[in-house]
A = this chain, B = another copy of it.
Amino acid sequence: MVSDTLLADVKKVLGERVSTSEVVRMHHGTDESHHEPAPPDLVVFPETSDEVADIVRLCASHRTPVIPFGAGTSLEGGVGAINGGVCIDLSGMNRIVQINADDLDVTVEAGVTRKQLNQHLRDTGLFFPIDPGADATLGGMASTRASGTNAVRYGTMRENVLNVTVVLADGKIIKTGSRAKKSAAGYDLTRILVGAEGTLGVITELTVRLYGVPEAISAAVCAFPSVDAAIQCCIVTMQSGIPVARMELLDAAQMKACIEYSDLSYQAAPTLFFEFHGSQSAVREHATTVQEIAAEYDGSEFKWAEKTEDRNQLWQARHDALYAALAMKPGARAWSTDVCVPISGLAECIAETRKDIEASSLLATMVGHVGEGNFHVIFILDPNDTAAFSEAQHINDRMVSRAIAMDGTCTGEHGVGIGKRRCLEQEFGGALDTMRLLKQTLDPLNIMNPGKILI
């Protein structure tokens, strides 16, 4: 519960833009993960960085937790108010502040979503490539160091955020950098905030890189006799320096689900979805080369999607992977988890995880952003079957240990939230103490999204 004084003080700042309604609170304590919702005590709707700063200062003086909220699409419990407190809903801060076409960058408020941004950019010949499954806000995407299917070509939020404006735990507003494409000036505060999941401050504005819409785009689907063969094809493709824009793996189980869900005419075999960006002839050439590489690993003929609508259908099927998997078991709930390993270990990591799944009672599919060695397991669970959740946790724990043993990470793009906190000791060892020290320094009262990332 927030105190009456705090509530009154907050209302002085925001007027009617506060809510204690149960529905609103529950919505803001719920994400897209398997974690239990944890509603905040109060939800506020600021419209400027100054208002956010006022709220944070009030919360600091009341030692009350502050939880930033974008689109609520976290996959590891990032928005749950596990210690109560005030949820700062940033969706009202959704202005496109400034497009700099010559500089290939744009400054936006934190509540702008990726689809909103690309819609806004549609007449400029530019686009923003980072595409996590959900239509997340850019503030949320920065906070979880999000990526998606284009990361193999365009990088993740780590590489694409030029600066952030952030409200620190004491209510101070700082801007972490300039719009320069590179800088050797001082400590990289931008990248301390990117991926901090709101535990070091609330991102209220950010500048991100943009890219020219490619002259030609072409997509293709190729089936392989095994996951291993598909991954070998990816390794050789990467070594050849072919700038594939997307290179997505779906395992046989996921393909089966997608074929049934979207009525596709593909095989239920391990499959790569490719996309190529560039000039007409570059796209043609890259595709031909990759096709030759695929053939060496017994890949099927490429099924092409060159027209926009065919391509959209293909990627819609990929983006619907979660819903397709869910449709395999009506009434089920999904638990999506991810790890990322050096690509040389990817086939083994997937195979061993598949073995664990087969040895369990669970239904699960796998999809991967293969270029970066990142893959997801989607467990399809009966929401009332607690034993099944324990089994999933066990398989997840083993997968994380396996990834870390291969010099990989416990999460490539979902973030830590509350779900992966126990993994950090194993992944970082003594470096975890340095992370704790940073948290204590930048948030001495432990009010910024407390209980996330660090236990």
Instruction: Please list the residues of chain A having a beta carbon within 8 angstroms of any beta carbon in chain B.
Output: 100-105, 125-126, 144-147, 151, 155-156, 158-159, 168, 172-189, 191-192, 194-196, 200, 211-215, 235, 238-241, 243, 277-279, 281-282, 285, 289, 340-344, 371-374, 403-404, 407-416, 420, 423-424, 427-435, 437-439, 441-442, 453
Closest residue to A242 on the B side, CB-wise? B279
Contacting residues, chain B, for A424 (C-beta < 8 A): 185-186
Number of identical protomers: 2
Across the interface, A195 reaches (CB within 8 A) one of B180, B187, B238, B438, namely: B187
A125 touches B195 (CB 8 A): no
What residues of chain B lie closer than 8 Å to A433, measured between beta carbons? Answer: 172, 174
Nearest Cβ distance between residue A425 and chain B, in whole angstroms?
A: 11
Residues of B within 8 A of A427 (CB): 178, 185-186
Q: A155-B159, A441-B437 are in contact. Are A145 and B183 (CB under 8 A)?
A: yes
Q: List 30 A-B contacts (CB under 8 A).
A: A100-B342, A100-B344, A101-B239, A102-B235, A102-B343, A103-B343, A103-B344, A105-B342, A144-B184, A151-B182, A175-B431, A176-B431, A179-B342, A180-B374, A180-B403, A180-B408, A181-B340, A181-B371, A182-B374, A182-B412, A185-B410, A185-B415, A187-B195, A187-B196, A187-B438, A187-B439, A189-B435, A212-B240, A281-B285, A282-B285
* Complex partner residue of A453 from B145, B186, B341, B439, CB under 8 angstroms: B186
In the complex the two chains form, what is the Cα distance from A410 to B184 in whole Å? 8
Contacts of A403 in B (CB 8 A): 180
What's the nearest-Cβ distance from chain B to residue A135, in Å? 18
Q: Is the CB of A186 within 8 A of B432?
A: yes
**A199 and chain B: residue at smallest CB distance:** B187
Residue of B nearest to A172 (CB): B430
